[in-house]
Amino acid sequence: MDAELQNKLKKEAARKAASYVKNGMVVGLGSGSTVKMLVDELGRRVKEEDLQFTGVATSIFTAQQAKSLGIKIVDLDMVDSIDLTIDGADQVDSNFNGIKGGGGNLLWEKIVAINSKKIVWVVDKSKVVDTIGAFPLAVDVIPFGSQHVMQNFDKAGYEPVLRLDKEGKPFKTDSNNLIIDLHLHKIEEPTQLADNLIQTVGVVEHGLFLNMVSEVVVGKEGQPEILVNPNIG
């Protein structure tokens, strides 16, 4: 899919997902390029439609963008729970298992997700796949001893690569952790992999979000399609 079409589909899906936000809600705002479009649309609604809601951001970038558009942002610990979180994803399969963390924000995203009553993802159609794994799986690790974690991942056959920033230095997350990307190609047993990763000392969190999302808004030609997870009420 060419980049122009992909951006168009992302924008349409983001606009659809923005319509889920109602007055008075506490809304988790995800991260990434699709969420950037969502936040732009929410900012427009705040200005033009007098929409009033409270946002909880999953990254410093999203918090800054939202605030600059007049959206009220509070820390997660300032709210009891989140009514709805809208986030992007890197890949999602038909069991509603997904990969997140392409932008390195998976830790805050997962903390916000588990404190949300409902999670909606917004993606373009290229991200809906039969089997997840072609997109590298991000793992958030503590810098101390991270070379040893890399070696363990290597021995396990996970093809680990330390993520670098644009200057070629180790990429730092918003919590000052590192990201190791696992080139797994196909993830046939996501639950087992998630267990293995989280039990590795030094790993803070990984980008597998398994059966957590209620709806996926998929940007495609015509109009966005809504995939509803039958396992979540």
Ligand X SMILES: O=C[C@H](O)[C@H](O)[C@H](O)COP(=O)(O)O
Residues with a known catalytic role:
109
Asked whether residue 34 is marked as a ligand-binding residue, the answer is yes
Q: What are the helix (H) ranges across the chain?
A: 3-18, 33-49, 60-68, 106-114, 146-155, 190-198
- Output the residue with the shortest Cβ distance to ligand X: 32
Alpha-carbon separation of residue 18 from 29, 107, 123 (angstroms): 10, 23, 13
CA-to-CA dists, residue 120 to 66, 209, 218, 222, angstroms: 18, 12, 11, 20
Residue 175 counted as an annotated binding residue: no
34/116 with CB nearer ligand X: 34
Stretch that binds ligand X, among 26-34, 112-120, 150-158, 225-233 (CB under 6 A): 26-34
Find the shortest distance in angstroms from Cβ 18 to ligand X. 14
- The answer to the question of whether 31 is labelled as a binding residue is yes
From residue 66 to residue 85, the character string flagging contacts with ligand X as x (rule: CB under 6 A) and all else as - is --------------------
Q: Which of 210, 21, 33 is nearest to 114 (CA)?
A: 210
In which residue are the tokens 């997840």 written?
Answer: 132
**Among residues 28, 55, 102, 190, the one that binds ligand X under rule CB under 6 A:** 102
Compute the Cα dihedral for 24, 26, 27, 29 and give only its sign: positive
Residue ranges at the known binding site for substrate: 31-34, 87-90, 100-103, 127
Binding positions for ligand X, rule: CB under 6 A: 30-34, 87-90, 100-106, 109
